[in-house]
């Protein structure tokens, strides 16, 4: 299955791609507008030009260069004038603010939407000139608010009516230069582009960019200019200025942060909201799948699992909105996908704390843990290899196709599902009451399975609030989220200790194929196991105290949200609670 940005297709000019065509693995524009391929391979070649535009007929794809080290604009221009006949055009300057949706739809398509004082422009990462431009002195809230235009058509196809969020502002100056032949006819264009990032009264200069814009029919002249650029110690740019700024500010397109929740309007039908959220979560899955294929960073696996788990929880809490059989099958597939990643995640969690665990042992016993550490590393490699093979299976590809089809269904203006403001409060009240009904002192005697079910109940409430925080009334939602996270962290640590203790006991019994008794490994593992048992007992008392605080902040939310005029949740409530309790036993961690 293709994932992520695929290889560029097309001719090359001195090793630089001409007319690059990229595939994307994310879910993006809607239904027929995107014509998403059935196998999730990205956008069809035919429809992509309609979305991101064709290059003007007179030139091919632009090529970006960066100086390798320190550079001087004057020296570059002097050297250029010595080699070529040039015409330097007037310098242009502008301040441009870049925008995207909360789920990075434009960035994931290598597109940037920028607004200056007069115009709104959609640009490709791979071109200096806009694909579409529109006079627009003030930025509307959504693309659907733009006046009829080609820019509006393309933005609506890509992002629908999702609100636009400012990312950063750049001060840009561009020096256009035309390369001339003997008849003074333009054969190639060169641009020197200089950006300064404006942030809170501070400015930071980015690396200058030198663009070569080949013109159709003058490939040899462009070839000569590209060679000259390389001789000036310029190197092809591997990322755009947009990407450079995001990297500088520590932000990553495709990764969704709950600090920037997807805006869900209270009046939107809940069916629409769920499909939008599922599109976002699918983008997260594909982004992190791409990362896992490229390496074994534990963060990719963590975020992959979070996206899968949230999608399953979202469907479970809105199951009345969609056909029952479709939701059950979808959730079952997601649960299986979550379980297939569980062992790899458990090993990641253990290896991340192994250095801290060594410090719990006497100094002369720490080296004895080496065979156990080697065992964990070996097991982790095996599980990661198995996970990558999972991505290649027909079943996995089918699940992603079904997810894409389910989430990408067009939004029907005649939707009969209740609005978010009518549907969600009932679900929040239900989850809050379930937590408040638990006696905190009873947690002191709870076993691992009971604490794990409590952790899942906390996650369900947290995900519900995370998803629909912008669609809820003015309530202490953020206070509840803060305390939920505290309880979840403690419960998660208890769960990790349970899993890690089982791994230690298994290794102590079987040895995992390693000979270790003679070097003190067995006794060192015994000391570590005793330490973990003591830590778990202390954490269980901590959970009691933290849960008391949680119930105190959750209880005030129940009454304001309990409105008898709200839309009733369909289906027998008792049966639904029983079903959710049964499903929670199989919920992936």
What local confidence, expressed as pLDDT, does residue 189 receive? 95
- Reading phi first (left if > 0) and then psi (alpha if -120 to 50, else beta), residue 250 is in left
Three-state DSSP state, 86: strand
Q: Output the six-digit token pair for 415.
A: 């939707």
At residue 79 the predicted structure's pLDDT band, cuts being 50, 70 and 90, is very high
Percentage of the chain surpassing pLDDT 70? 77
Task: Give 96's contacts (C-beta < 8 A, 6+ positions apart).
Answer: 114, 115, 116, 169, 170, 172
**pLDDT score of 572:** 30
Highest mean pLDDT among 64-73, 100-109, 571-580: 64-73
Sign of the torsion formed by the C-alpha atoms of 76, 78, 84 and 86: positive
Distance (Å, whole) CA 420 – CA 321: 11
Name, in order, each residue with C-beta under 8 angstroms of 64's C-beta and a sequence gap of 6 or more.
126, 209, 210, 211, 236, 237, 240
Q: How far is CA 13 from CA 61, 110, 178, 586, in A?
A: 10, 21, 19, 55
Tens digit of each residue's pLDDT (9 = 90 or more) over 506-528: 888 876 555 555 568 888 999 99
Distance CA 506, CA 510 (A): 6
pLDDT the model gives residue 8: 31
Could you give the 3-state DSSP secondary structure of residue 110? coil
* Average pLDDT over every residue of 394-417: 81
Question: Where residue 120 falls among pLDDT bands split at 50, 70, 90?
Answer: very high
For residue 149, pLDDT over 80 is answered with: yes
pLDDT-based confidence at residue 46 (cuts at 50, 70, 90):
very low
DSSP string, 387-415: HHHHHTSHHHHHHHHHHHHHHTSPPPTT-
Say what the pLDDT of residue 588 is. 39
**151: region left, alpha or beta (phi > 0 left; psi from -120 to 50 alpha):** alpha
* Segment holding 307, helix H or strand E: helix 298-317
Provide the total of helices (H) and of strands (E) in the chain, helices listed first.
19, 13
Say whether pLDDT at 34 is over 50.
Answer: no
Q: What's the pLDDT score for residue 252?
A: 63
pLDDT for the residue 406: 86
Q: Round to whole Å and give the CA distance between 472 and 470.
A: 6
First to last CA, the chain: 26
Phi-psi region of 14 (alpha: psi -120 to 50; beta: other; left: phi over 0): left
Please choose, from the candidates 397, 164, 394, the residue with its C-alpha nearest in 3D space to the C-alpha of residue 263: 164
**pLDDT bracket for residue 585 (50, 70, 90):** very low
The percentage of the chain sitting over the pLDDT mark of 90, rounded to a whole number, equals 35
For the full predicted model, state whether its pTM sits above 0.85: no
Q: What is the pLDDT of residues 433-458, one digit of tens each?
A: 888 888 888 888 888 888 988 998 89
List the beta bridge partners of residue 203: 198
| List of domains in the chain | 12-248 (2.40.320.10), 270-411+418-584 (1.40.20.10)
pLDDT of residue 255: 52
Please report the pLDDT score of residue 239 as a whole number. 86
Q: Which residue has the higher pLDDT, 86 or 564?
A: 86
DSSP string of 264-290, one letter each residue? --TTSBHHHHHHHHHHHHHHHHHHHHH
Task: Evaluate if residue 383 carries a pLDDT over 90.
Answer: yes
């Amino acid at each position: 299955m293709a994932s992520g940005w695929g290889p560029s297709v097309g001719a090359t000019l001195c090793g630089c791609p001409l007319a690059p065509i990229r595939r994307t693995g994310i879910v993006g524009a809607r239904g027929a507008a995107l014509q998403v391929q059935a196998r999730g391979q990205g956008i069809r070649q035919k429809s992509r030009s309609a979305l991101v535009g064709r290059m003007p007929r007179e030139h091919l794809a632009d090529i970006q260069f960066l100086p390798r080290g320190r550079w001087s604009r004057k020296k570059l221009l002097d050297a250029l004038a010595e080699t070529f006949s040039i015409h330097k055009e007037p310098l242009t300057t502008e301040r441009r603010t870049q925008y995207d949706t909360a789920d990075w739809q434009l960035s994931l398509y290598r597109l940037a939407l920028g607004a200056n004082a007069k115009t709104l422009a959609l640009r490709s990462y791979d071109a200096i000139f806009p694909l579409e431009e529109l006079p627009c002195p003030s930025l509307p809230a959504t693309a659907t608010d733009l006046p009829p235009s080609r820019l509006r058509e393309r933005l609506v196809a890509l992002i629908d009516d999702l609100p636009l969020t400012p990312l950063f502002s750049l001060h840009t100056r561009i020096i256009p230069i035309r390369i001339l032949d003997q008849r003074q006819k333009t054969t190639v264009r060169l641009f020197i582009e200089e950006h300064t990032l404006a942030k809170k009264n501070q400015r930071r200069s980015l690396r200058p960019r030198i663009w070569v814009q080949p013109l159709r029919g003058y490939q040899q002249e462009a070839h000569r200019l590209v060679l000259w650029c390389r001789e000036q110690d310029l190197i092809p740019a591997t990322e755009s200025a947009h990407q450079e700024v995001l990297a500088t500010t520590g932000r990553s397109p495709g990764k969704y942060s709950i600090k920037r929740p997807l805006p869900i309007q209270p009046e939107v039908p809940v069916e629409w909201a769920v499909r939008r959220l599922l599109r976002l979560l699918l983008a997260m899955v594909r982004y992190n799948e791409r990362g896992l294929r490229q390496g074994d960073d534990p963060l990719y696996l963590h975020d992959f699992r979070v996206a899968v788990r949230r999608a399953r929880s979202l469907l479970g809490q809105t199951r009345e909105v969609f056909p029952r059989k479709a939701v059950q099958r979808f959730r079952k597939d997601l649960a299986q996908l979550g379980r297939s990643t569980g062992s790899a995640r458990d090993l990641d969690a253990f290896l991340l704390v192994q250095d801290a665990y060594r410090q719990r042992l006497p100094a002369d016993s720490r080296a004895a843990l080496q065979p156990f550490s080697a065992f964990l590393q070996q097991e982790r490699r095996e599980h990661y290899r198995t996970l990558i093979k999972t991505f290649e299976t027909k079943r996995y590809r089918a699940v992603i196709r079904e997810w894409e089809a389910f989430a990408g269904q067009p939004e029907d203006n005649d939707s009969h599902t209740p609005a978010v403001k009518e549907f969600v409060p009932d679900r929040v009240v239900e989850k809050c009451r379930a937590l408040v009904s638990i006696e905190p002192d009873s947690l002191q005697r709870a076993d691992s399975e009971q604490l794990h079910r409590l952790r899942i109940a906390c996650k369900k409430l947290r995900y519900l609030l995370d998803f629909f925080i912008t669609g809820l009334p003015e309530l202490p939602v953020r206070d509840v989220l803060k305390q939920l996270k505290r309880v979840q962290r403690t419960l998660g640590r208890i769960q990790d200790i349970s899993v890690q203790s089982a791994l230690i006991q298994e290794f102590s019994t079987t040895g995992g194929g390693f000979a270790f008794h003679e070097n003190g490994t067995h006794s060192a593992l015994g000391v570590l196991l005793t330490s973990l048992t003591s830590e778990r007992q202390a954490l269980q008392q901590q959970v009691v105290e933290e849960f008391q605080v949680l119930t105190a902040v959750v209880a005030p939310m129940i009454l304001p949200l309990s409105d008898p005029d709200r839309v009733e949740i369909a289906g027998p409530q008792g049966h639904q609670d029983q079903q959710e309790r049964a499903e929670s036993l199989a919920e992936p961690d």
